């Protein structure tokens, strides 16, 4: 059954939202593969929980809003949000945490603002910010390095059947560096920390650098397939690394190198899958570049000088607020005119 009558010139690309979303999910796979290699199958369980919660939440809201269920459920946008949430939450978090996060994203951040294409804020980042503000302890418990848990144990942890033990959890590499610097009070320096502490690998966090590499791979594939343009990711990575490089050049003892920041936390996931969100991000090419650049700068400031483990989510939400302004001032000139209107 057809719900929407499309103009003839659009007939070639039918249900293109679904095609785009499917390809975004495909692009996430290299990162997920590295994640599974690093943590184990727990992340797959979280992805499944998030997907289920997102689909149920989407169906509920569509039914409440009396929208066609099949059409909007099959576009896959809810699943993309769900996967981004699952990938940004701690992999051994209890199941209800990811359910609360996903429902916040779908019900509050997406449908209360008008559904697909209407949300001013990135739903996945709303979920992450709301949960890290609400449950700071649970959201900071990342699996400790070298923690060997069987699939059964991981599953029981997620289901809440096993008690959580402090020794199982550790900080993210970003958090570990920040805490060590704060505790060291000027006595410790970054190069020594990076070289001596187990949690750090060749470039950034041990293992996490390969997950970030997986996201980079998927992102470059999306760029090659013309799903995203280079502006927003390049701007984000440039903003993050330029500020990191400036501070690192000024004081390499207290600030980590740009590569560490590029491969840590949510930088790569954010650069290719979050700031490229066509709904909550800018629409003009120059706007995308500015949006990405400022988001990168803000992410660095928040993750290095702020109180939370990572700054990507807050940076993206803050920049989402500025999107109408940036779009207004970055209109491309009308064909035939010299200056922008």
Partner 1 sequence: MISREQFREIMDNGIWHQNSSLIQILGLCPLLAVTTTLVNGVMLSLATIIVMAVANVAVATLRNLIPHEIRIPVFILIVAALVTVVDLVFNAYFHELYLVLGIFIPLIVTNCIVLARVEAFANKNPPLQSLLDGVFTGVGLLWTLALLGGLRELIGAGTLFSGIDMVFPALHGLQLLPADYPGLLLAILPPGAFILLGCLIAWKNWVEARAVARRPDSGADHALPVALADGA
Interface with partner 1: number of residues (CB under 8 A) = 8
Round the CA-based radius of gyration of the chain to a whole number and report it. Answer: 20
Output the smallest distance, CB 112 to partner 1, in A: 8
Stretch binding partner 1 (CB under 8 A), from 24-32, 128-136, 212-220, 240-248: 128-136
2 Cβ contact list (under 8 Å, min separation 6):
none
Element (H, E) at 163: none
Q: Is 130 in the site for partner 1 (CB under 8 A)?
A: yes
For 166, the token pair is 């402090």
Binding status of residue 138 toward partner 1 by CB under 8 A: yes
Nearer residue to partner 1 within complex by CB, 103 or 177: 103
Give min distance, CB of 53 to partner 1, in A.
16
- At 164, is the secondary structure helix, strand, or coil? coil
For residue 310 the two structure tokens come to: 């990572």
Binding of residue 159 to partner 1 (CB under 8 A) = no
Residue 200 β-bridge partners = 205
Nearer to partner 1, 108 or 190 (CB): 108
Chain Cα centroid distance, residue 166: 26
69 binds partner 1 (CB under 8 A): no
Q: Phi and psi (nearest 5°) for 92? A: -105, 20
Distance of CA 220 to the CA centre of its chain: 16
Q: Least distance in Å: CB of 96 to partner 1?
A: 9
Candidates 134, 150, 192, 331; binder of partner 1 (CB under 8 A) is 134
Cα 192 to Cα 19: distance, rounded to the nearest angstrom: 47
Residue nearer to partner 1 on the CB measure, 21 or 126: 126
Q: Is 299 a binder of partner 1 (CB under 8 A)?
A: no
Contacting range for partner 1; rule: CB under 8 A; set: 16-24, 80-88, 126-134, 170-178: 126-134
Q: Are 296 and 252 in contact (CB under 8 A)?
A: no
Q: Select from 16-24, 31-39, 133-141, 272-280 the region that touches partner 1 (CB under 8 A).
A: 133-141
The interface region with partner 1, picked from 39-47, 134-142, 162-170, 220-228 by CB under 8 A, is 134-142
Pairing of strands 169-170, 142-143: antiparallel
Q: Is 294 in the site for partner 1 (CB under 8 A)?
A: no
- Contact call for residue 100 and partner 1 (CB under 8 A): yes
Residues 28-57 that bind partner 1 (CB under 8 A): none
For residue 205, the cross-strand partners are 200
Cβ(144)–Cβ(172) below 8 Å: no
DSSP 310-338: --HHHHHHHHHHHHHHHHHHTPPPPTT-S
Of residues 113 and 221, the one with the C-beta less far from partner 1: 113
118 binds partner 1 (CB under 8 A): no
The residue from 28, 45, 47, 108 that contacts partner 1 (CB under 8 A) is 108
Sign (positive or negative) of CA dihedral 213, 217, 218, 222: positive
Kindly list the residues in this chain that would bind partner 1 in the complex (CB under 8 A). Answer: 100, 108, 130, 133-136, 138
């Amino acid at each position: 059954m057809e719900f929407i009558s499309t103009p003839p010139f659009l007939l070639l690309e039918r249900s293109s939202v679904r095609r785009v979303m499917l390809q975004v999910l495909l692009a996430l796979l290299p990162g997920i593969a590295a994640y599974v290699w690093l943590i184990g199958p727990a992340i797959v369980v979280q992805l499944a929980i998030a997907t289920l919660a997102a689909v149920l939440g989407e169906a509920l809201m569509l039914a409440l809003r009396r929208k066609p269920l099949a059409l909007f459920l099959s576009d896959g946008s809810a699943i993309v949000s769900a996967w981004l949430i699952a990938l940004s939450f701690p992999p051994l978090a209890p199941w209800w945490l990811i359910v609360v996060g996903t429902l916040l994203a779908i019900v509050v951040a997406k449908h209360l603002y008008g559904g697909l294409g209407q949300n001013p804020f990135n739903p996945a980042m709303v979920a992450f910010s709301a949960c890290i503000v609400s449950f700071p302890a649970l959201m900071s418990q990342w699996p400790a390095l070298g923690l060997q848990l069987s699939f059964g144990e991981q599953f029981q942890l997620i289901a809440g059947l096993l008690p959580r033990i402090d020794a199982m959890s550790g900080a993210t590499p970003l958090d570990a560096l920040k805490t060590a610097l704060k505790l060291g009070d000027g006595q410790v320096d970054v190069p020594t920390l990076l070289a001596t502490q187990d949690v750090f690998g060749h470039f950034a966090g041990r293992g996490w650098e390969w997950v970030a590499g997986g996201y980079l791979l998927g992102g470059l594939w999306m760029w090659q397939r013309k799903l995203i343009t280079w502006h927003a990711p390049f701007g984000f990575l440039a903003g993050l690394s330029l500020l990191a490089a400036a501070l690192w050049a000024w004081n390499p003892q207290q600030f980590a190198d740009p590569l560490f920041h590029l491969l840590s936390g949510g930088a790569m996931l954010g650069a290719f899958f979050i700031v490229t969100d066509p709904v909550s991000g800018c629409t003009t090419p120059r706007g995308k570049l500015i949006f990405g650049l400022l988001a990168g700068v803000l992410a660095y400031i928040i993750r290095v000088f702020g109180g939370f483990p990572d700054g990507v989510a807050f940076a993206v939400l803050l920049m989402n607020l500025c999107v109408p302004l940036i779009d207004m001032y970055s209109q491309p000139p009308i064909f035939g005119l010299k200056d922008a209107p």
